Amino acid sequence: MDQKIVPCDITDNFYRKPDQDERRMESEYSVQTIEKLEQKFKAEALHRPMRIDRYEPGAELTYEITDVATGILGTIRLKIEKFVGGGFAGQVYKVRLMEIHAENGGIDCLEPGKTYAIKILIPPSNFSKLFRNVLYWLGFQGPFQLQMNPAAARSGAIWQKFIRRAANKFFGNDRSVVDIYATFVDHTLGSCGEISQWVDGRTWRLEVNEYLDVLKKWRKGKKVKEEYLGSPEYRAKHEFMTQFVNLLHKIGAHEFARQYEWSTSKSQPNCLKWNDTNDNPEEGLVAVDFRAGLALLPFLPMSPGDFKLILQGIFRGSLIQFDRGDLKKLEQFITDHPDDFTGMHSMLVELKQAEQVYRNSVPDITHNHVKLFFSRRLWATVFNSAVTGWRVRNLIDKHWEQKLRNNKFLTFLFWLLGALPFIGSFVRKCWGQPFWRKHYKSMFTHFNYFKNSLRGKAFEKITGWHRAGRTSVEKSGKLAKQVWRLSYHVPLSILPVGLHRFFTDGKYAKERLDFLLLRPFRLYFDADLRTQWLRDMVSDGKKKNLLSQQDADTILNQVEEPFIQKYLKSLAVHLATLPVTQIVSITVAGIYIMMHPDMPRAQAYGIGLGIIALFQVVPISPGSLVRGLYVLYLVIKERNFKDYNIAVFLGFFKYIGYLAFPIQMAYRYPTLARFMAGHWATEAVHVVPVFGEGGALLEHWVFDLFYNWPLTIRRRMKKVAEIRSRLKPRYWHIGLYSVLGAGIFVFTELAYFNHVGELPDLRDMWWLTITLPLVLGLLVTLGAGGAVRGNRIIASLICGIFIGILTTITTTLLHGSDQIGMIVTNLLWRIFILGIFCSIGALVTEIKLPDPEI
């Protein structure tokens, strides 16, 4: 395979000052910078090729392909239009087919000028590749076959063809499963790949739904009223994926079904929705990904659904799961539905052959077990596939490929060298490829070439850093011009991307500090900046499909309204509180370390780190306290509780408090509130590896938690309030429950005293201290009749206070204590704790009360 780099000027404009747009691209990279670094590597005239992890838009690639349906061979030339993304299974690109030459005139499904998708089955990330390969080796005792074995790639592609044909019958259309056209080998990246249909689609939209309680019943299979069911796209995807999983099991594609198992919480992005079906939420779903990335090991479940999948696999006799199917079950399904699989007999024959090679290419103890002791055919396939994999990865040339195939001892020796760290890789390179031998020989015999090779290595390193966002366009240029600067970058490259760049790029550090510390204050005082801030978020939301054009227009038409400006001002205060907790936690930890000079340094620093960690997990932090007090200040200043009734409570809590104002805006500005909640919640959840992917279940769950559940609770509270308004307020039961609660407390204290010989404090009866007031708070609010919600909460608080007073008086009288200070302290603690838990019990009850009409 050849790669053509679009020519570019490598004069001094390589080091030009980046323009304003480039300075804004903190995590993105410049394709032009990557291309210039590649050109500079080529200018070193090294004998070895440049190491490439992924391709850039504009690159032209040439592949020898094999048609999936017919097996026809051909050659295609592609142009990369977009890097879509990469995971454990591989990297995906949107490409345009520029040219094709094939046997017998051509391949019908591939036409020059059209857009397709290619997936190259090697991750762009070295960590992802290492993690994936380790899990695969633990499961199958061999290298990752989809990457290295064309038979494995062919097997998966043909399985997808049969799945698509079965789905066509089951769902009644051929757009429910993405079509796959051809397989190929990319010797530059060292991996097999496939070319398939390009899906112009998207993941789900985050839908507003104030009937999540009804949706919860629907998910459990309970009968609900259709008119109350919201979230149509969510429900449609859930039903489609459930039906699709059942279909996959029916045709024997058991382990392919893992890609669409809802309970894994990470399978949802594998199912997209065609953009031309946006007007109909229930149509246009398409399954797009059938290549697993990680082996499922029985001792290492990595999602909630994996526990069920492991048990199912064990019952099928498959202890390690990846992408194994049941050919007998597939063949039986084809026999039962012959009209739906017309013209696919030759593919079934090839699938059986490819599966045999694929499954016998690794030892796979759990499936081959005793065959490993006597099957020469199995070991011959293992050796032969190993050579094929080395050729795919470009570790050996054609000459050594042939020699290794004819000599099992040399093959074993080559494999054994791969198990040796450092020296083994060096020897295999020199053994298998002439250009590596020439490269290392020149390094040891020509000093100038040695310097060129170091510069070439530096350019490769800078390329990777720039892609990862560790270096800007300007900084990459300086490093390429003065490679000695890498000496202080390399030690820092073990740090996370942001910290590496912060410590090595003064301009970036200044921008980040300005963004975190000063920008919130500018937003607070500058109305124009606040307006532009919102406009930028709207623009970003449109790109990420969080907003339709109509919703975006609605928000932009409201942006100048005074109430919107007030909310944006409050959001600026929320941003200003972001670093407060970190500053306080580091300060407290530093003070502690300085105040304990006699403590061993390791212990002192360990406690200091513990203090910092504690500040991160407490529900109410210094930052959230400042934020909550600000909202309380607004309520008092404006004498307006109604417009802050949600934010004044949520604001005090860590993390979720940042969504207080987006949720508060829900009724007055529902479109803006939905967008703000979705934008903030999904941005936060995307930092979670794997499960935080856009379109995954966690994203939807977080959106529901912070946006739809408050709406659902508000709806239920409103309905309960309407029903309660027909009743008379009732408060007499407060005294009854106070006496009952006090009696239970005193009885328990007396029992403890008789058993232990001393009076207990609240810590000794922690279980009763928590559960009893929670239950009494529930009973008080339920028995308050038509009292308004605020009075019901106050009534529960009064009940807790009365219990604290009564128990303190009773205990004092029974045991005759005369220590006034201790009595007062005990009284205050009881009033505080019991009052708080009674109030919490009432609040939880108010939140949990169901809508009586649903």
Q: By C-alpha distance, which of 493, 487, 461 is closest to 476?
A: 461
**What strands lie across the sheet with 285-287, from one edge to the other?**
201-202, 271-274, 285-287
CA distance 831 to 803: 8
User: CB neighbours of 278 closer than 8 A, spacing ≥ 6?
Assistant: 284
- 738 vs 553: CA distance, rounded Å: 56
* Residues 852 and 816: beta-carbon distance below 8 Å: no
Return residue ranges of the chain for CATH 3.30.200.
Answer: 60-196
Q: How far is residue 248's CA from residue 166's CA, in Å, rounded to a whole number?
A: 9
Question: Alpha-carbon distance 420 to 812, whole Å?
Answer: 77
74 within 8 A of 20, measured Cβ to Cβ: no
Question: How many beta carbons lie within 10 A of that of residue 684, not counting itself?
Answer: 17
Instruction: Tell the residue number behind the tokens 């860590």, with chain if given.
Output: 654
4 touches 60 (CB < 8 A) = yes
Token pair of 610, please?
């513990």
Pairing mode of beta strands 73-86, 285-287: unpaired
Residue with tokens 């190259």, as numbered in its chain: 120
Q: Where do the H-state alpha helices sit in 360-433? A: 365-368, 376-392, 398-405, 408-418, 423-432
What is the token pair recorded at 629? Answer: 């007090």
- Looking at residue 816, its pLDDT comes to 64
CA distance 448 to 442: 9
**Helix H or strand E encompassing 63:** strand 60-67
Among residues 529, 527, 509, the alpha carbon closest in space to that of 519 is found at 529
Closest CA to 828 of 847, 804, 852: 804
Nearest CA-CA partner of 6 in 38, 45, 30, 28? 38
Report the pLDDT value the prediction gives residue 295, as an integer from 0 to 100: 94
CA angle 143–148–150, rounded 5-degree value: 135
Query: How far, in Å, CA of 765 to CA of 124, rounded?
Result: 57
Question: What does the alpha-carbon distance between residue 707 and residue 715 come to, in Å, rounded to a whole number?
Answer: 13
Question: What's the pLDDT score for residue 104?
Answer: 75
Alpha-carbon span 618 to 585, nearest angstrom: 12
Give a three-class secondary structure readout of 246-311.
HHHHHCCCCCCHHHHCHHHCCCHHHEEEEHHHCCCCCCCEEECCCCCCCCECCCCCCCCCHHHHHH
Q: What angle do CA 140, 146, 149 make, to 5 degrees?
A: 90
The position carrying tokens 């879509």 is 84
Angle between helices 733-756 and 766-782 (to 10 degrees): 170
Q: Which two tokens stand for residue 785?
A: 């009749």
> What pLDDT was estimated at residue 548?
66
- Provide long-range contacts, Cβ within 8 A and 24+ apart, for 495-504: 497/27, 497/468, 497/469, 497/470, 500/465, 500/470, 501/469, 501/470, 501/471, 501/472, 504/470, 504/471, 504/475
Bridge partners of 61, per DSSP, are: 3, 78
Q: What does the alpha-carbon distance between residue 16 and residue 7 come to, in Å, rounded to a whole number?
A: 18
Whether residue 356 contacts residue 380, with contact meaning beta carbons closer than 8 Å, is answered with no
Query: In this structure, what DSSP letter does residue 321 have?
Result: B
What type of residue sits at position 504? T
Nearest to 214 by CA among 699, 715, 702, 724: 715
Q: CATH topology for 60-196?
A: Phosphorylase Kinase; domain 1 (3.30.200)
H helices, E strands: number in the chain: 37, 10
* pLDDT at residue 26 in the model: 41
Would you call 763 exposed, middle or buried from its count of C-beta atoms within 10 A (0-12, 13-18, 19+)?
A: exposed
Q: What is the pLDDT of residue 644?
A: 76
Q: Residues 132, 123: contact at Cβ < 8 Å?
A: yes
Q: Residue with structure tokens 């009866």?
A: 765
Distance CA 657, CA 651 (A): 4
- Say what the alpha-carbon torsion angle 323, 327, 331, 337 is, to the nearest 10 degrees: -20
Sign for the pseudo-dihedral over CA of 359, 363, 369, 371: positive
Residue ranges of the chain with pLDDT lower than 70? Answer: 1-28, 105, 544-548, 655-656, 658-659, 662-667, 674, 677-678, 681-682, 686, 690, 692, 815-818
Cα angle value 804/809/814 (rounded, 5°)? 130
Contacts 24+ apart (CB under 8 A), 49-52: 49/188, 49/435, 50/456, 50/459, 50/460, 51/460, 52/3, 52/188, 52/189
DSSP states of 181-218 as a string? EEEEEETTTTEEEEEEE---EE-------S-HHHHHHH
- Nearest Cα residue to 268 out of 707, 695, 581: 695
CA dihedral (317, 319, 320, 321) positive or negative: positive
pLDDT score of 8: 32
Q: What is the pLDDT of residue 725?
A: 87
DSSP 142: S
pLDDT score of 17: 32
Rounded Cα distance, 170 and 176, in Å: 10
Q: What angle do CA 765, 770, 772 make, to 5 degrees?
A: 90
pLDDT at 625: 86
User: Tokens at residue 134, please?
Assistant: 């380790």
pLDDT of residue 544: 65
Nearest to 477 by CA among 12, 3, 149, 91: 12
State CA 578 to chain mean position distance: 23
CA angle, residues 96, 98, 99, in degrees to nearest 5: 140
- Helix, strand, or coil (residue 118): strand
Coil/strand/helix, residue 237 = helix
Distances (CA, A) of 444 to 437, 440, 447, 449, 790: 11, 6, 7, 9, 83
Sign of the alpha-carbon dihedral angle for 176, 179, 185, 188: negative
Indicate the Cα dihedral angle 724, 726, 729, 733, nearest 10°: -60
